[in-house]
Amino acid sequence: MPSLAQLTLPMFIGTVVNWGLFGMLLIQMVVFFIAFPDDPRLVKMLVVTIFILELVQTLSNGRDMVRVFGTAWGNLEVLDEVGWAWFSTPVMGAIISSVGQAFYARRLYIIGRNIWVPALVASFSVVQLGAGIWTGVKICIATRFSLLQSDNVPATVTWFAATSICDILIVGFTVDYLINQRAKGSFQQTNEMLTCAMLLTVETGLPTAILSIIDLFLFTQYKGTNFHLALCIGLSKVYSNCVLLLLNWRARIGRRPPTEVHHPESAHVVNTGIVFKDRKMATDTTGTMTNFSGHGMRVDVEVNRSWEDSSGRLDALEEEKELMSV
C-alpha cells in the first residue's frame, strides 16, 4: 500500500513543472509572432494549435489539482477518483506529442528528401497516439485508480515505449543527415549553421526521449505509486517548447550598444536592444525598427533581414534556405 506522499507529491511536482513549462511556451509564442510575422500561415496555425491544446491540458490538470489539494484536501476517496486525469495526461499528452512528432517528421522529409524515414517516425507516432488514447479510455472506464487492473499496463507501456523509440529515431536520423551535409559543405558559414542545427536537434530531441524512458522506468518499477506523474504530466510541454525552440532558433537576441539617451523627467535610463535576425529572406535588405519607451526604459526591437549574397555562394544559400524552411 503506497503512502499518501507517494501518491500526492509526484502530482504536485508534475503540476508545478507543468505550469512553469506553460509559461515558457507562452513567451516563446510571443517571440515567434514578433520575430517572424511573415512565416507561412501553416506554421502559424501549428503554433496556435499547440498553444490551444496545451491550454486545455493545463486547465484540465489544474482542475484536478484544485480538487485534490484544495477543496477536498485529505479526502482519500477524492484522491482515488480518476477525475479528468484520464483526459489531461494520457489523451492530451499523446495528441500533443503526435503533433510535435509530425513536425519533426516533416522536417526530416524536407532535409532528407526521403519518404521512408518520415514514414517510420510517423508510424511510431501513430502507435503512441493510439496507445495514449487507449490508456485514457482504460482509466476512464475504471473511474477509480484503485480499480485499475494489470491489463492497463500494456497500454501505458506501449505508449511510453513508442514515444521513446520515435524520439530516438528523430534525433538519430536528423543528426546523421546534418553530419553528412556538413562534411560536404564548402563554406564556413554554412558549416557553422549546420553545426548549430545539430546542437539544437540534440538539445530538443534528446530531452523528450530521455524523459520518456525515465517515465517508462518509473511506471514499471514503482507500481501502485504516482512517481511517473512527476514527469508524465508535463511531458507534452517539453515537446511543445522544443518545437517552438526550433522555430525560434533563427532569432538572435542580443544587446546593442546604446546610440541615444532618453531622459523622461530626469529618470534613470536603461537602453536595451533586442535584435532578431531572420536569415530565411535572402534578398530583402530592409530593416524594421520598433521602439518602446516609458518609465525610464527604452527597448528597441529590430528585425534585420539582410544576408550577404554573391554568385559564388548560390549553392550554400540554397542549402541554408532549405534547412531554414523547416
User: 170-194 pLDDT, tens per residue?
Assistant: 988 888 887 877 776 655 666 666 6
21 and 234 Cβ atoms separated by less than 8 Å: yes
Domain 4-248 bears CATH identifier 1.10.3470: no
What pLDDT is stored for residue 203 in this prediction? Answer: 76
* Separation of alpha carbons 101 and 243, rounded Å: 9
Q: What is the mean pLDDT of the chain?
A: 77
34 and 276 Cβ atoms separated by less than 8 Å: yes
pLDDT bucket at 5, cuts 50 / 70 / 90 = confident
CA-CA-CA-CA torsion sign (22, 23, 27, 28)? negative
CB burial of 185-205 (b: ≥16 within 10 Å; e: otherwise) equals: beeeebbebbeebbebbeebb
Residue 272 has pLDDT above 70, yes or no: no
* Separation of alpha carbons 50 and 155, rounded Å: 25
Give the helix/strand (H/E) hosting 17. Answer: helix 4-35
- In degrees and rounded to multiples of 5, residue 294 shows phi and psi of 155, 150
pLDDT bucket at 263, cuts 50 / 70 / 90 = very low
Residue 265 has pLDDT above 90, yes or no: no
Report the Cα 294 to chain-centroid distance in Å: 33
| Cell representation of residue 194 | 549546420
Look at 315 and 126; give whichever has higher pLDDT: 126
Number of H helices, E strands in the chain: 11, 3
> What stretch(es) of the chain map to CATH 1.20.1070?
4-248
Name the residue among 107, 136, 113 with its Cα closest to residue 325. 107
What pLDDT is stored for residue 16 in this prediction? Answer: 95
Residue 90 amino acid letter? P
Residues in the chain: 326
What pLDDT is stored for residue 146 in this prediction? Answer: 75
Name the residue among 53, 48, 23, 57 with its Cα closest to residue 247. 48
Residue 7 has pLDDT above 90, yes or no: no
What pLDDT is stored for residue 135 in this prediction? Answer: 93
What pLDDT is stored for residue 107 in this prediction? Answer: 85
* Full strand arrangement of the beta sheet holding 270-277: 270-277, 297-304, 287-294
Longest dimension (CA), the chain: 73
Convert the pLDDT of each residue in 136-171 to its tens digit. Answer: 999 999 888 877 766 678 888 999 999 999 999 998
Residue 282 has pLDDT above 50, yes or no: no
Lowest mean pLDDT: which of 68-72, 110-114, 197-201, 317-321?
317-321
